[in-house]
Amino acid sequence: MYFKEGYREFSRLMEYVQNFSLLIARVVVAYGFYIPSEIKWADPDAIASWFASMGIPFPLFTTYLVSVFETLGIILLTLGLFTRLISLPLIIIMITAIFTVHIGNGFSAVDSGIEIPLYYMLFLFVFLTHGAGKLSLDQLFFGKEETK
């Protein structure tokens, strides 16, 4: 009986840090897109050639499209603005990365497996379903309907 009451109290207390944890997660995920985005912008032709070698259609267009969404993701996730909206294309990018680049390498990140893009996809799914939290511009502009 004491365990049940203690666990309920612990859960209640953790609700106070829920929004801070969403903020930290958003910033970390946004930062994770920074280097890949920077690489794509630095040499889009090389990335397009790499995409073409994997059979990705319209490789140069796709390079720019992915670069734009990753860059928007960095900005919008950091600010917590349109968090649910930007999470969708980023999830699609992660799914595509898993099936075109990483799946043949197994699970482990050490072997360039699906581990890292899978974790990013899962975090993005949390943002999609839970929103940005109270420490966000979504909360400021859209209120309770947009965030928890």
pTM for this predicted structure: 0.90
135's tokens: 């420490």
The pLDDT tens digits for 111-130 are 999 999 999 999 999 999 99
Domain count along the chain? 1
pLDDT at 53 > cutoff 70: yes
Please list, in sequence order, all residues whose beta carbon lies within 8 angstroms of the beta carbon of residue 2, skipping any fewer than 6 positions away. none
Residue 26 lies in a domain: yes
Identify the pLDDT of residue 145: 55
Domain hosting residue 78, numbered range: 17-145
Residue 103 lies in a domain: yes
116's tokens: 């890292």
Q: Tell me what percent of the residues of the chain surpass a pLDDT of 90.
A: 93
Residue 54 lies in a domain: yes
pLDDT at 147 > cutoff 50: no
Residue 11 lies in a domain: no
Residue 75 lies in a domain: yes
Residue 10 lies in a domain: no
Residue 109 lies in a domain: yes
146's tokens: 């947009």
Residue 8 lies in a domain: no
